[in-house]
Structure 1
Amino acid sequence: MNGVSSIQNKTLKVGCQTFTWEMLGNKWSGGPDDLLHAIAGAGYAGIEITDTMIGDYFGKPAAFASALKSHGLTLVAYACGSDSGFTEPSALADDLASVDRALEFVVQFPGALLSYGSATIMNPGPIDDKFKVAAEFYNSAGERGKRAGVEVALHPSSHHNTLLGTRADYDRIMALTDPALIGWVPDTGHILRGRMDILDTIRTYLGRVRYLHLKDVDTSGKWAMLGEGVCDTRAIVDLVAGAPNFNGWLVLEEESDTAAADPAAGVRRNRETMRRLVA
């Protein structure tokens, strides 16, 4: 089984997110071809690659498509962030210009999404204003994506200074963004680190789910290898599989110390774990 299975009569495809390598910072000296080799070799069917890890392939969609094909991989999503945290009004025009550039790349990969990371507090100021700017960014990015024929989704996180870390934050950004323009990439690890009722949170916004990030944490919220923490992966996949706009992709993303010591081994181990968790 090369990254494909089924549940509730719905085909599921298993992809890998490249942040496992990105989190190493300067300790990682490889390139995107090394990522493709490791991910394909571990048995994944697809890849979600970040703007940091795309390297020289950005602006060269034909070359990247060829590299993906040679490894038997599909581009699930292109994930982007910004130094502005999407909360600085002075950066909004530049952030939206970067959306246009990203869309020019992603549109060459039918079915791939453009995913935008969590709005983040970069400077002091009223929280209301930061939510307003973040919502304007996400909605405007979604409008651009709709014109280009590319779905755009937001991906909240639990990292330092995130604006979108608690259930109240999720409720607020969902209320401020247009479900017709912006989808959602729920991340099990980040939701659990936000101390939310994960099944209720996903069920509440099930219609906005486009694909799923699977990670695990222990009872303290520390990152754990998939299947070694508190995440009820099977129950979550069962729920998401019924989402009306879910595209079938389960994207494994690993941030634990174990994976940091050897990313290729970590993502390979997660792929094997996934085979046991979801038949």
Structure 2
Amino acid sequence: MGIRLTQFPAILQRYRLTTAQLETELSKRGLHIATISFGGPSHDFEQRKRVLAEAGNAMDFLALFGANRLVVFSPARRLPEAGSDAAFRTMCETFNRIGELATNKGFRAGLHNHLGQMCEKPEEIDRCMRMTDPNLFGFSPDTAHLHLGGSDVVGMFEKYKKRLVMMDYKDAKWTAPAGFTDSNGETLEPEAAKFLSSIYDLGDGEIDFPGCHRVLKEIGYRGWNCVDLDTARKGPRTSYERCGDYIVNTLEPIYS
């Protein structure tokens, strides 16, 4: 069982954790680090050197824990320059460079689609896949962001099955928020509130996970699959136990 480390490297500083301390805490719980959520200004040629250095540092850190996958996010689409063809082309060129670096380190890197980013819609994901080298850069899809972004989730798995690096299983259906305050009492932006209201425990939304799983079985996939809950509707323990039951009862038989 593993975790995806987010907000690296700031999360180590925030909790004053050394690499050795993190390794100790993970070992106590029988956990591994599967990957890091990596992102940066890949659309900006002037910052490419820094992005590649940070990607290299992330993979060097992951290698200490035996990981060999890097999940790569695209830049925010709200940036003024993000809508240009030149920015998209530069981003894809940088992704190829990250993939080249990953290959040299014994890793595989892949695009993680996300709402609010340059690779949100199906046509943007397809464009990125066309403009990157399949031998260097793969696909690390998030099912909820695919669905809410307008993609056919199973269709995307099928289309890019030979490029799958890892994936997030997250259920979703667009849902109007009941309010704009989260469980910590913080006020959310309307867009964030709508997104969080649209995330569900596995099996409670609209995504065809058995269909996704049949694609994974077809290719003999044996990598990481991250069950990701942006919202734990029943509380973290109960929601994850419900997701676990869904996996065991509905998805595992597909592989048997």
TM-score (norm 2): 0.79
> Residues of 2 paired with 1:169 and 1:187: CA distance?
14
Structure 1 residues 61 and 257, CA, compared in 2 at 3 Å: closer, same or farther? closer
For structure 1, the residue ranges without an aligned partner over 5 or more in a row are 1-44
Structure 1 position 175, deviation (Å): 0.9
Structure 1 residues 257 and 267, CA, compared in 2 at 3 Å: closer, same or farther? closer
For structure 2, the residue ranges without an aligned partner over 5 or more in a row are 176-194
> Residues of 1 paired with 2:114 and 2:126: CA distance?
14
Is contact 2:74-2:118 (8 Å) kept?
A: yes
> Residues of 2 paired with 1:58 and 1:51: CA distance?
14
Is contact 2:12-2:18 (8 Å) kept?
A: no
1:122-141 to 2 correspondence within 5 Å? Answer: 122-125=78-81, 126-141=83-98
> Residues of 2 paired with 1:201 and 1:232: CA distance?
12
| 2:224 maps to 1:243 | no
The equivalent residue for 2:100 is 143
| 2:234 maps to 1:234 | no
> Residues of 1 paired with 2:200 and 2:44: CA distance?
33
AA aligned opposite 2:244: R
Structure 1 position 252, deviation (Å): 0.4
Higher relative contact order (CA 8 A, sep 6+): 1
Structure 1 position 61, deviation (Å): 4.1
Is contact 2:39-2:72 (8 Å) kept?
A: yes
May I ask how many residue pairs the two structures share in their alignment?
Answer: 228
The equivalent residue for 2:63 is 107
Is contact 2:140-2:164 (8 Å) kept?
A: yes
Deviations 1:47-67 (A, max 9, x none): 111134742489954443333
TM-score (norm 1): 0.73
Structure 1 residues 233 and 251, CA, compared in 2 at 3 Å: closer, same or farther? same
Residue of 123, 126, 130 corresponding to 1:171: 126
AA aligned opposite 1:277: T
Deviations 1:128-179 (A, max 9, x none): 1121121122111111111111222221112x2x111122111110011111
Structure 1 residues 180 and 63, CA, compared in 2 at 3 Å: closer, same or farther? farther
Structure 1 position 253, deviation (Å): 0.5
Per the alignment, in what secondary structure is the counterpart of residue 75 of structure 1?
A: strand
Deviations 1:99-143 (A, max 9, x none): 121122112233431211133224223521121121122111111
Is contact 2:148-2:173 (8 Å) kept?
A: no
Percent of residue pairs identical: 23
> Residues of 2 paired with 1:172 and 1:58: CA distance?
40
AA aligned opposite 2:88: F
1:8-157 to 2 correspondence within 5 Å? Answer: 45-52=1-8, 54-56=11-13, 60-82=18-40, 84=41, 86-125=42-81, 126-157=83-114
How well do the aligned residues superpose, as a CA RMSD in angstroms? 2.5
